[in-house]
Amino acid sequence: MKLLIITPLQEECDFLLQSCAGRGFAAERAMIGRLPVAQLPHLGVTVARGGVGKAQFAIHTQHLLDTHGGWSAVVCAGAAGGLADDLAVGDVVVATSTVEHDYQNKFSARPTPQFDGDSATIADLRRAATASDAFRVRFGVVASGDEDVIDDQRKQALRRATGALAVAWEGAGGARACAFSGIPYVEIRGVTDAANHAAPADFETNLAVAMGNVATLIVSWLTLK
């Protein structure tokens, strides 16, 4: 497998790689086009930073796809705010679909853009999820939009409008680039906060744990026998 994992933030990338290194999978630094990457040869994985926001993430994703071919799949891996009340910090959400919640079309009744995750990858992740009892893995919709959700009223409105389990920024950008290039794609998010007033501080406090759990799921998937 030649898996490309793209994280929005450098901190997310660093925590992901640290967790993989703790499991014996050391990274090798390289360049793909204009972007620095980390390669984990024993896992068949390349990790890159995609940047903040849907547009920037889509640009970096497309550059990586255009510059270096042969990817078997792309994963957007990062943090998220929990919209579902039963999600806990450290839980991991695998997006069965990514809905672009801030695409505000007022001229017609077209549905909000929604991008299904790759079904084969999701099936593999479901099998890998049974291997961990340290945190829960949930499968469902992830809302994607360039908006910090930090109050309960907005959180509940977004949950009602999309049915999403969690909310993050960049997923729809990666999904659009992969759809354009015909590459399988899935979004995996670790929950850092409850998308409420405490979210900014909780994000900083819990990012390492959330990304460590994302790494655990990915390594379990890739080493699944």
Model confidence pLDDT, tens digit, residues 212-221: 999 999 999 9
Average pLDDT of span 97-124: 95
Q: Can you tell me the distance from the alpha carbon of 46 to that of 68, in angstroms, rounded to the nearest whole number?
A: 11
Average pLDDT of span 184-207: 98
**Structural domains of the chain, with CATH:** 3-222 (3.40.50.1580)
Per-residue pLDDT tens over the stretch 124-162: 999 999 766 789 999 999 999 999 999 999 999 999 999
Amino acid at 200: P
User: For 219, which DSSP code?
Assistant: H
pLDDT band at 25 (very low <50, low <70, confident <90, very high): very high
* Contacts with 123 (C-beta within 8 Å, 6 or more apart), sequence order: none
pLDDT score for 204: 98
pLDDT score for 132: 65
pLDDT score for 41: 97
Per-residue pLDDT tens over the stretch 31-82: 999 999 999 999 999 999 999 999 999 999 999 999 998 999 999 999 999 9
Amino acid at 121: T
Residue pair 91/81 in contact (Cβ under 8 Å)? The answer is no
pLDDT score for 131: 65
pLDDT score for 133: 72
Q: Which residues of 20-35 are buried (b: 16+ CB within 10 A; e: fewer)?
A: beeeebebeeeebeeb
Per-residue pLDDT tens over the stretch 102-113: 999 989 988 999
Residue pair 181/207 in contact (Cβ under 8 Å)? The answer is no
Nearest alpha carbon to residue 218 among 193, 189, 176: 189
pTM: 0.97
User: For 189, which DSSP code?
Assistant: E
The answer to whether residue 225 scores a pLDDT higher than 70 is: no
DSSP E strands, 41-154: 45-49, 73-82, 92-100, 114-116, 137-144
